[in-house]
Amino acid sequence: MRCERMRSRNERENVRILCGMNVIVLSHLRWDFVFQRPQHLMTRCARTNPVLFVEEPIFDADVPCLKAHEPRTGLTVLTPHLPAGLNAHEQSQMQERLLTQYLGKHKVGEFVLWYYTPMAVGFTRTLNPEAVVYDCMDELSGFRGAPPGLRAAEAELFRRADLVFTGGQSLYRAKQSQHPSVHCFPSSIERDFFAGAREPHPEPADQAAIPHPRLGYSGVIDERMNIDLIAALAAARPDWHIVMLGPVVKISESDLPRLANIHYLGGKPYQLLPAYMAGWDVGVLPFAENEATRFISPTKTPEYLAAGLPVVSTPITDVVEQYGSAGLVAIAKNTDEFVHAVSDVLPTRHSRERLARADAFLAKMSWDLTWSRMLKLIQAARRRKTVPQVAQTDPGLLVKPYPAVGD
């Protein structure tokens, strides 16, 4: 009951801060891909404010159009469908027209622009937002397949943004000199949800037959994974079983190690994660050390801890500084160290002392608190900003009109 009262109080405060205005999110991640930072924040935003979540285009249309669906109350996902073969300028121009047409048709009034991808700057320059937020959750330029022009687009976004949020401390250090208002918001946690993994659960059918001990990973399986480490760990300890939950993207399935004690179970709905974690003995973060992982702050770290799991990770900077230094995560640089670290933490799976330390640390973290703090910074930025005047002919329209190109 106290949590519900707190949530209601926070939501009333949030309504006062944003005054019901729209939030337009420009994302490189699809809403239905993996439930992570954008989904955590925007589900909270949608409780009090309409959210338009604009995805990257799909190139499958003869006639360009913007398709909409509403996965939850208050949140609409907009997906541009464009013809194949367009160059970058044509794509940007077409997306600009589609979005502008949609905002005009639906009488979208005051809004905040919330960027996850700097590449969206190219088709949003004509919009007149109340505030511009860049939530920099990753260093996208270090990822495989990063689009040309990403660094230039980010430099422009820094010039346009009122606020920059970063997804971790190392990313904050890399960005803090590039904008006068950069704020660090590391990955947070829905503690009670993942703490459900500490209770008995019926085993998911595809995990039930996997022997113990189980080393579990949950997240995207891509170029950030140290697949050589996973293979070597499985070979070194064939009696341990490695459970990999998550979609495989940007790397070939054929590149994944295929030993009898490595189990790829695919992506799972967010709501099922505690049931899988309840059946693990250790949570692992077997990340490679490369450009794609240099600035990451894995959301799964606090999720494993809330689920009651001992955790072993490779030396990812934000994991080492936030969790390793606090004695909450064991750090291992190579296969031998990983084997020793897992062997050390396995007996602590149900340690009350370890769980108490994790709980004390996590008590200071929540996505609700993160969202509330972000909102207060947005309100302060709005006070500092001179709001553009709206044309008298259409007080509900804050965008430059374009002719219709599809619906």
Residues 334-343 have pLDDT tens digits of 999 999 999 9
Inside any domain, residue 399? no
Is 348 found in the same domain as 202? Answer: yes
Rounded CA-CA distance 318/294 in Å is: 9
Do 114 and 141 fall into the same domain?
A: yes
Give me the DSSP letters along 122-133: GGTTT---SEEE
Q: Residue range 95-116: average pLDDT?
A: 96
User: So what's the pLDDT on residue 1?
Assistant: 37
Torsion angle of the four alpha carbons 305, 310, 313, 315, in this order, in degrees rounded to the nearest 10: 80
Measured CA distances, 400 to 104, 105, 129 (Å): 9, 12, 12
Mean pLDDT along residues 95-123: 96
- Burial zone of 311 (CB within 10 Å; 0-12 exposed, 13-18 middle, 19+ buried): buried
Same structural domain, 310 and 379:
no
Say whether pLDDT at 278 is over 80.
yes
Question: Residue 56 belongs to a domain with what CATH number?
Answer: 3.40.50.2000
Let me know if residue 344 belongs to a domain.
yes
Answer whether residue 406 is part of any domain. no
Share of the chain above pLDDT 70, in %: 90
Enumerate the β-bridge partners of residue 331. 313
Instruction: Give mean pLDDT, residues 54-79.
Output: 96
Q: Does 142 lie in the same domain as 261?
A: no
Distance CA 51, CA 10 (A): 18
| Contact present, 167 and 316 (Cβ < 8 Å) | no
Q: Is the pLDDT of residue 393 over 80?
A: no
pLDDT at 59: 96
Check pLDDT > 60 for residue 356: yes
- Comparing 132 with 292, the larger pLDDT belongs to 132
Burial of 277 (0-12, 13-18, 19+ CB in 10 A): buried
State percent of the chain over pLDDT 90. 83
The per-residue pLDDT for 232 is 98
Same domain, 122 and 210: no
| Domain region containing 94 | 2-188+366-384
In this structure, the answer to whether residues 7 and 120 fall within a common structural domain is: yes
Residue 258: which pLDDT band, with cuts at 50, 70 and 90?
very high
**Sequence-ordered list of residues with C-beta below 8 angstroms from that of 139, at least 6 positions apart, any chain:** 171, 174, 291, 294, 295
Question: How high does pLDDT run on average in the chain?
Answer: 90
ω before 213 within 30° of 0 (cis)?
yes
One domain, residues 138 and 214 = no
Q: Is residue 403 part of a domain?
A: no
Q: Quote the number of domains for the chain.
A: 2
DSSP secondary structure letter of residue 155: H
